[in-house]
A and B are shown apart, each in its own frame.
Chain A
């Protein structure tokens, strides 16, 4: 009984982590950026969905709106914060990374605080699209949880199809391997980057909205969300999407197990310990390339 509960809950939470981490890794792999405003993006999407849902009723519209808000915010992040720093001649190349990190961090804080100011920092739950309860193997589970896991996998699957089966996706993949090669073949890199940030925005948006439906968010969630995406991506290996997926499940299940078997207060600890061990033994992560 408990086992099934753990399996199901763990699966849902892991899927959510997986979606968020996939987007985070995508941006790192192609644009070379560790986006520290990642959590804020997700929260913004959730809050947008909540706000619209509250005013206009109808969770579908709210959800789509939330994803669109994240898309917009993501592209703005690229143009306003990331691109100027990547292209500036006033900072030495080796130092650009720390500047971009600091800038995305500040930007994330700005978004977080703006949300707190406009909507207060209380927790909000987005109205689930799918209501009701379903019984699986004798466990009563909110249908929303199943829905969450399903959508996450649908999104990840769509991304996989995009990257592996469409020319657009393959160009993005090629750009992550060799930006100069892509330019030499006549593809404008700037367009590729915009496309990637847009895709990232949608992924983060969906993850954010789902999180809002599943567990609820508040402006305080932004930091921990970024931290967990960060840890998962490092564990799985920077730049490896499959690594992130696996790591997301490892972390998700570790957390769920800890929450159920020990106490919810300690849920983040085993994952953190694992991260420390991995950092010492294999800093590249499970499947990392760089």
Chain B
């Protein structure tokens, strides 16, 4: 820990959203010329901390000091003027303006009467552009630029006011290895200028190259703090990210009947969101009755893959069900055909009761079949039976998740896709859901694809595991070998 005074200091930060405490008593310091890596999985609260610092959110308690001044609760533009710059995760340039104009904007003072352009400002803009490597494209518009240049514009904008504190949100997502190296150099230079830098990302690996220190969060709380090595070795961090010491119960792949034509086959699937490539040559296969876990951090591409399978977005490549291509079928048709998804956002009908939500799922069934199915699900998730007449929006997070899964099961699917069911849930609920999944696996021949970043949850039920990272499949194998082979890359 450096002896330099803290440029950025958070003390006892608290933020609540309704009944949920997103950030619980978070405190840290970042000195001038230091990079602090703030890491945590989705739902850990790191984004909320960041938003509280730049003024997009108002903390419910605690303070945020920039060079001693408490800015907690200040409007965003005032905090920016004080010297806090932010490089957003998603590039948001002004599309109708050139690169130069985008940077000039960041340099303009907040005055109404500026009617004539200032040559001094233009000079500074050019200097900043040169620094980040944009000199060649100053007169082009963002739509014509490659992805990495769009990210450079974001850095340039953040630099414009010569900030004392810079927040950087997931800087390397979507960049190639070479581009990443260039950005690492760029950020290191910013640090060497004497600025305090808060680098926010998902795991230690992403910030390892740059961070002087790391602060790890989970479910709103601090779980570890220290150097990169210290945090990587920390027990709690390893447990949260890697699982460690989990019992697996995989069935060998050869045992599944449809070896030659797997039930579901995705071949070299590519998906682009505008410029950014969300999935790159992803190929997976799932056998009938198999339980496959796809493990990956947030932003790795799990949801994108699932949405491609469900027909919700366009893709290149082939996705086949029992040999027949799914391309060209509407998402509703794919769902009716037995490929059902319980999505990340749950997508419940919040003003309808639990029972009505379930009935919506079972609307295609005959009355008797529906009643039977309902009984089975109430047996699987007893809490839902108890709360049948309650509005779905009033249920707790765990209950909502169970309802989402139950509703999907009402459709009598052949293949069930579960996208991040454990997001934001307490361990007790996780155990309940885990048990239900266990029963499903043992008593039915349901094929399941589980997408998870929580390895503790993903491994025990899986027959096979894929690891998805930055849109690519980087590992495939048995769950028992995961910790040994894939763990290092994952943390």
Whether the complex brings A and B within 8 Å at their CB atoms is answered yes
Contacts of B364 in A (CB 8 A): 186
Please state if A186 and B411 are interface contacts (CB–CB under 8 Å).
Answer: yes
Partner of B335, one of A170, A171, A184: A184
Does B356 lie at the interface of the complex (its beta carbon under 8 Å from any beta carbon of A)? yes
Please state if B336 and A184 are interface contacts (CB–CB under 8 Å).
Answer: no
Given the interface contacts A177-B349, A177-B352, does A184 sit within 8 Å of B310 by beta carbon? yes
Contacts of A181 in B (CB 8 A): 347-349
Total contacting residues, chain B, CB less than 8 A: 26
Does A203 lie at the interface of the complex (its beta carbon under 8 Å from any beta carbon of B)? no
With CB as the reference atom, state the residue of chain A lying closest to B363.
A167
Query: How far, in whole Å, are A60 and B382 apart by their CA atoms in the complex?
Result: 54
With CB as the reference atom, state the residue of chain A lying closest to B408.
A184
Contacts of A61 in B (CB 8 A): none
Does B407 lie at the interface of the complex (its beta carbon under 8 Å from any beta carbon of A)? yes
Known: A170-B356, A180-B343, A186-B340. 10 other contacts (CB 8 A): A167-B363, A170-B352, A171-B363, A174-B349, A178-B348, A183-B331, A183-B332, A184-B341, A184-B343, A185-B360
Total contacting residues, chain A, CB less than 8 A: 17
User: Which residues of B are at the interface with A, using a C-beta cutoff of 8 A?
Assistant: 310, 312, 330-333, 335-336, 340-341, 343, 347-352, 356, 359-361, 363-364, 407-408, 411
Please state if B352 and A174 are interface contacts (CB–CB under 8 Å).
Answer: yes
Query: How far, in whole Å, are A186 and B412 apart by their CA atoms in the complex?
Result: 12
Please state if A185 and B352 are interface contacts (CB–CB under 8 Å).
Answer: no
With CB as the reference atom, state the residue of chain A lying closest to B345.
A180
Partner of B350, one of A177, A182, A187: A177
Sampled A-B contacts (6; CB under 8 Å): A170-B360, A181-B348, A183-B331, A184-B343, A185-B411, A186-B411
Query: How far, in whole Å, are A185 and B359 apart by their CA atoms in the complex?
Result: 11
Specify the main secondary structure of chain A where it touches its partner: helix
The 8 A CB mask of A159-193 against B (1 = contact, 0 = none) is 00000000100110110011011111111110000
With CB as the reference atom, state the residue of chain A lying closest to B342.
A184
Q: How far is the CB of B401 from chain A (nearest CB, A)?
A: 14
Query: How far, in whole Å, are A178 and B346 apart by their CA atoms in the complex?
Result: 10
Q: How far is the CB of A3 from chain B (nearest CB, A)?
A: 39
Please state if B349 and A188 are interface contacts (CB–CB under 8 Å).
Answer: no
Please state if B361 and A185 are interface contacts (CB–CB under 8 Å).
Answer: yes
Query: How far, in whole Å, are A167 and B365 apart by their CA atoms in the complex?
Result: 12
Query: How far, in whole Å, are A71 and B404 apart by their CA atoms in the complex?
Result: 36
With CB as the reference atom, state the residue of chain A lying closest to B392.
A177
Q: How far is the CB of B411 from chain A (nearest CB, A)?
A: 7
Q: Of A170, A183, A186, which is in contact with the most chain B CB atoms at under 10 Å from its CB? A: A186
Contacts of A183 in B (CB 8 A): 312, 331-332, 335
Given the interface contacts A183-B332, A184-B341, does A173 sit within 8 Å of B352 by beta carbon? yes
Contacts of B336 in A (CB 8 A): 186
State which residues 171-220 of A face B: CB under 8 Å.
171, 173-174, 177-178, 180-189
Q: Which 10 A-B pairs have the closest CB atoms?
A: A181-B347, A186-B336, A186-B335, A188-B332, A174-B349, A177-B349, A183-B331, A186-B332, A183-B332, A180-B347
Query: How far, in whole Å, are A184 and B349 apart by their CA atoms in the complex?
Result: 12
Given the interface contacts A174-B360, A178-B347, does A184 sit within 8 Å of B340 by beta carbon? yes
Query: How far, in whole Å, are A216 and B310 apart by their CA atoms in the complex?
Result: 52
Given the interface contacts A167-B363, A171-B363, A189-B332, does A184 sit within 8 Å of B356 by beta carbon? no
Please state if B363 and A184 are interface contacts (CB–CB under 8 Å).
Answer: no
Query: How far, in whole Å, are A189 and B330 apart by their CA atoms in the complex?
Result: 10
Q: How far is the CB of A42 from chain B (nearest CB, A)?
A: 29
Partner of A187, one of B332, B343, B348: B332
With CB as the reference atom, state the residue of chain B lying closest to A190.
B330
Q: How far is the CB of A168 from chain B (nearest CB, A)?
A: 9
Contacts of A174 in B (CB 8 A): 349, 352, 360
Query: How far, in whole Å, are A171 and B364 apart by their CA atoms in the complex?
Result: 12
Q: How far is the CB of A77 from chain B (nearest CB, A)?
A: 23
Contacts of A178 in B (CB 8 A): 347-350
Q: How far is the CB of B394 from chain A (nearest CB, A)?
A: 14
Contacts of B310 in A (CB 8 A): 184
Contacts of A184 in B (CB 8 A): 310, 331, 335, 340-341, 343, 347, 408
Contacts of A173 in B (CB 8 A): 349, 352
